[in-house]
Amino acid sequence: MNIGVCAKISPHADARIKIKSDGSGVDTKGEKLVVGDYDEYAVEEAIRTKEAHKGAVTAFTVGATSDEKLVRSGALALGVDKAVLISDDAAVNAGPLGTAKLLAAAIKEAGCEIVFTGKAATDDGNSQVSAMIAELLGWAQVSQVTKFAIEGTSFTATRAMDAGVLQIVSGSLPVVITCEDGLNDPRYPKLPDIMKAKRKPLSKIGAGDLGLADVAATSSESNFAPPPPRPASRIIEGDAASAAQELVRLLREEAKVI
Amino acid sequence: MAYDELFNPTEEHRMLREMVADFTANEVEPQAAEFDAKGVLNVPLFRQLGELGLLGITVPEEDGGAGLDAVAAVIVHHELSKSDPGFCLAYLAHSMLFVNNFAQSANAEQKARVLPKVISGEWIGGMGMTEPGAGTDVIGMTTTAVLDGEHYVMNGTKTYITNGCEGFCFLVYAKVDGRITTFLVDRDCPGFTTSHHIDKLGMRGSTMSELIFEDCRVPVANVIGEVGGGLTHMMRNLELERLTLAAMSVGIADRCVEIMVRHGQERVAFGTPINRFGQIQRYIADGYAATEAAKCLTYNVAKDVGPHNRNRIGSDAAKLFAAPVGKNVADWAMQVMGGSGYCREYPVERLWRDAKLLEIGGGTLESHQKNLTKDLSRLAPVT
């Protein structure tokens, strides 16, 4: 089986987010960068699918040239077989649609039958690219998947819907599977796989190599600002009954949430 | 940048560090206090080290290991010891004292028989050198082995042996006609038993016992290398042992600095965070500086320790310097935390107890001073 996985390099979930001084975006300089949290589930599921059904996994990343070592540590060292890093200036400046066009073209060229993606990037959290890839390829997509299985050319995926409701979706390959927290427990890289990661093929290409001329973002982002500081906590004194009464009064009259 | 090249000389080293750091934070840290209190090794967790490929880290790839160097071994000990030095000591006794030594000195048949099982973690290993009457004075050991047909008959006792309780196989040094020889002794050898668990102050995530040989029959096929080759095996392996013990002290010190820095910001006294007080600043700053110095020395020496490099001066110096740093910085962290640092609710008192062992095990501070003086004098003889 020819399996694909999209892995975006983003600041670590524990990173302290700093806004650039001109408010034009987030300053990631000096921050630890990794394959995003949800994309980790996608990488793990892609590898598990390979282990269950044989074949090979290709990772696709749109990002900076310097992302190479992070793709090696966050995908190839875990058991992904090869990687495609789309990293020219056009790719770096692509918006969600441009990114989806680049990834869809690379996935098509690689001949993948199934692609795993994370439900959202850890940094911008747009949740747009997976659906766009499916649309551009003309494939089905199942989002927020918490359980997944393939039999032959058919798949069964469980979706986590609101209020704890689960939806089971069946269909045929090809498909884009968008991975949710809880789908699997991502592995640690094993030392022998770390040693192999450097020797695994990673091709760096640009938009032109995929025959795409215009992938520039169609929207722009500006005026980034940190959230307002959280107000100081208040401790309600008194016995349980009167404290509860006071809490309810404050929630209703001051916070206006009930 | 030079700083990073010293600690992570290649991308593989960096990936190894990230993997061990993640594993330590997610899997090792949560169990450390529990197994310290129980005083036993977490065997299932230990076997996970095998699944990750860490148990044969220095074994050549052709023998089924990772083929990595002393820097890689230092990285693993450094990172594991930030959370659980006791658990790390079991790793050291297995991977450095048994597996590394065995892989360097055993023949092809012995390697094929034993390495897959110890690299996977199916068998836990250890090493027996110290005796009730011979510690630093290792040449004074009294355990003997006498040839009797296809077996050697071994008599004697080894003590303070890490992994003694859980271990299946041990490298044991014994004298054959007065010559120190290395033997592979396992639980299938008749006459080999281990004592009760020897309780101890720290490093309680690993166990310690005596190895007792009473007319123990060890097959001739279990002699490692040549009869009389034991001293060479022992000395060659002691360098990596001391270096990785130094790395454990660095891990303890690193963690304690982190704890001090955080606590100094969070704890308020007299209306101000305590890190505004000069007395606290001294612990934090001196602790950091000493830790960085120990770290740099340890990693710098690691570049020159390997199967084909002898660097006793470096490994003795690294452990002589790093072990008191680990102990002192843990002590300072406890002082900064005050009463909370003394309580079992926080990891500092455990690290403080663990740190002391590193001034004793694998060579006392005094043995390092003896070796260094001897080796340095030999390098600069007075003519």
CATH number at residue B280: 1.20.140.10
pLDDT interval class at B3 (50, 70, 90): low
Same domain assignment for residues B327 and B314:
yes
Rounded Cα gap, residues B45 and B175, in angstroms: 36
Same domain assignment for residues B77 and B213:
no
Output DSSP code: residue B195.
-
Closest residue of A to B60, CA-based? A192
Last residue of a domain, one of B89, B124, B159: B124
Same domain assignment for residues B110 and B7:
yes
pLDDT digits over B176-226, tens only?
A: 999 999 999 999 999 999 999 999 999 999 999 999 999 999 999 999 999
Q: What is the dihedral of CA B378, B137, B166, B41, to 10 degrees?
A: -70
Same domain assignment for residues B204 and B260:
no
Q: What is the pTM of this model?
A: 0.91
Same domain assignment for residues B170 and B190:
yes
Among A125, A134, A117, which residue's Cα sits nearest to residue A179? A117
Same domain assignment for residues B168 and B103:
no
List the CATH number of the domain containing B169.
2.40.110.10
pLDDT digits over B343-382, tens only?
A: 999 999 999 999 999 999 999 999 999 999 999 999 988 8
Instruction: Let me know: does A55 contact A81? Beta carbons within 8 Å.
Output: no
- pLDDT for res B2: 53
Last residue of a domain, one of B229, B247, B281: B229
Question: pLDDT 10s per residue in chain A (258 long)?
Answer: 999 999 999 998 888 888 988 888 888 888 889 999 999 999 999 999 999 999 999 999 999 999 999 999 999 999 999 999 999 888 888 889 999 999 999 999 999 999 999 999 888 888 899 999 999 999 999 999 999 999 999 999 999 888 889 999 999 999 999 999 999 999 999 999 999 999 999 999 999 999 988 888 888 888 888 888 888 888 898 999 999 999 999 999 988 888
Residues 11-30 of B with CB under 8 A from A: 11-12, 14-16, 18-19, 22-23
Last residue of a domain, one of B229, B264, B290: B229
Two tokens, residue A139? 């494939």
Contacts of A74 in chain B (CB under 8 A): none
Question: What percent of chain B is predicted at pLDDT more than 90?
Answer: 93
Mean pLDDT for the stretch of residues B322-326: 98
Burial status of residue A57 (CB atoms within 10 A of its CB: 0-12, 13-18, 19 or more): buried
**Which CATH class, in words, describes the domain spanning A2-210?**
alpha beta
pLDDT digits over B103-160, tens only?
A: 999 999 999 999 999 999 999 999 999 999 888 888 899 999 999 999 999 999 999 9
From A188, A191, A197, residue closest to B66, measured CB to CB: A191
Same domain assignment for residues B236 and B371:
yes
Same domain assignment for residues B333 and B235:
yes
Domain ranges of chain A: 2-210, 230-258
Same domain assignment for residues B340 and B283:
yes
Closest residue of B to A195, CA-based? B12
Range of the domain at B101: 3-124
List the CATH number of the domain containing B73.
1.10.540.10
Contacts of A37 in chain B (CB under 8 A): none
pLDDT digits over A200-236, tens only?
A: 999 999 999 999 888 888 888 888 888 888 888 888 9
Residues 38-77 of B with CB under 8 A from A: 51-54, 57, 61, 66-68
Same domain assignment for residues B242 and B288:
yes
Number of structural domains in chain B: 3
- pLDDT for res B1: 43
Mean pLDDT over all residues of chain B? Answer: 96
Contacts of B18 in chain A (CB under 8 A): 73
Same domain assignment for residues B101 and B25:
yes
Same domain assignment for residues B74 and B162:
no
